[in-house]
Amino acid sequence: MSRAFIVVLDSVGCGGAPDADQFFNDTRPDTGANTLGHIAQACAEGRAEDGRSGMLNLPTLYALGLGRVISLASGLQAPGLGAQPQGRWGAATEVSRGKDTPSGHWELSGVPVPWDWTYFPDATPAFDDALVAEVCRLAGTEGILGNCHASGIAIMNELGAEHLRTGWPICYTSADSVFQIAAHEEAFGLERLLMLCADLAPLLHSRRVGRVIARPFTGAEGAFKRTSNRRDYAIEPPKPALMDWAQADGRVVHAIGKIGDIFSHRGVSQLHKGKSDADLVQHLLRLADQAEDGALTFCNLVEFDSLYGHPRDVSGYARALETFDLAAADFLSRLKPGDIALFTADHGNDPTWSGTDHTRERVPVLVAGAGQGEIGLCAFVDVAASVATHLGLSETGPGRSFL
Statement: residue 80 has pLDDT above 90: no
Q: Residue 241 pLDDT > 90, yes or no? A: yes
Q: Compute the mean pLDDT over every residue in the chain, rounded to the nearest whole number.
A: 96
pLDDT reading at 245 higher than 90: yes
Q: Residues annotated in the binding site, as ranges?
A: 10, 305, 310, 346-347, 358
- Cα–Cα distances (Å) from 36 to 67, 71, 217, in that order, read 9, 11, 30
pTM as predicted? 0.92
Tell me, letter by letter, the H, E, C secondary structure of the chain.
Answer: CCCEEEEEECCCCCECCCCHHHCEECCEECCCCCHHHHHHHHHHCCCCCCCCCCCCCCHHHHHHCHHHHHHHHHCCCCCCCCCCCCCEEEEEECCCCCCCHHHHHHHHCCCCCCCCCCCCCCCCCCCCHHHHHHHHHHHCCCCCEEEEECCHHHHHHHHHHHHHHHCCCEEEECCCCEEEEEEEHHHHHHHHHHHHHHHHHHHHHHCCCCEEEEEEEECCCCCCEECCCCEEEECCCCCCCHHHHHHHCCCCEEEECCHHHHCCCCCCCEEECCCCHHHHHHHHHHHHHHCCCCCEEEEEECHHHHHHHCCCCHHHHHHHHHHHHHHHHHHHHCCCCCCEEEEECCCECCCCCCCCCCECCEEEEEEECCCCEEEEEEEHHHHHHHHHHHHCCCCCCCCCCCC
pLDDT of residue 175: 84
In tens, the pLDDT along 188-227 reads: 999 999 999 999 999 999 999 999 999 999 999 999 999 9
Query: How confident is the model over 107-161, as pLDDT tens digits?
Result: 999 999 999 999 999 999 999 999 999 999 999 999 999 999 998 999 999 999 9
List residues forming the annotated binding site for Mn(2+).
10, 305, 310, 346-347, 358
